[in-house]
Amino acid sequence: MSSGGHDYGMMAVTDTYICKSCKKIVDVTVGEYGVTYTKEDVITKKKNKETDLDFYVCPECNSDINLMKWNKTKRPCPKCDGKMEKDAYGVTMLWD
């Protein structure tokens, strides 16, 4: 289950990526407090001790080099490269 794209919570900004290391679709933290950071921003930014967020890191395997932005239009499966279908149960919401 994922947001399926760019999303905002109270503290974290996420975007959906494919992790080539663990072959999963994951929501990766890409910013905080409504501000999206680039990977270059993250290299020069000091970690916010209040939020303790890890940016551009897979939440499943902690890889920071094997992330590829997920194409929500094509919806490719990271394991077989086939097209994934939307969840039949509709919207599930749980943030922060």
pLDDT tens-digit map of 57-92: 999 999 988 999 988 788 788 888 888 777 666 666
More confident residue, 13 or 47: 13
Q: What is the pLDDT of residue 2?
A: 81
pLDDT for 4 = 84
Residues 6+ apart with CB under 8 A from 19: 25, 26, 58, 60, 61, 63, 66, 67, 78
**This prediction's pTM:** 0.81
pLDDT, tens only, 26-36: 999 999 989 99
Write down the domain spans for the chain.
1-96
Q: How far is CA 56 from its chain centroid?
A: 8
Residues 12 and 31: beta-carbon distance below 8 Å? yes
pLDDT of residue 88: 62
Q: Residue 78 in 3-state DSSP? A: coil
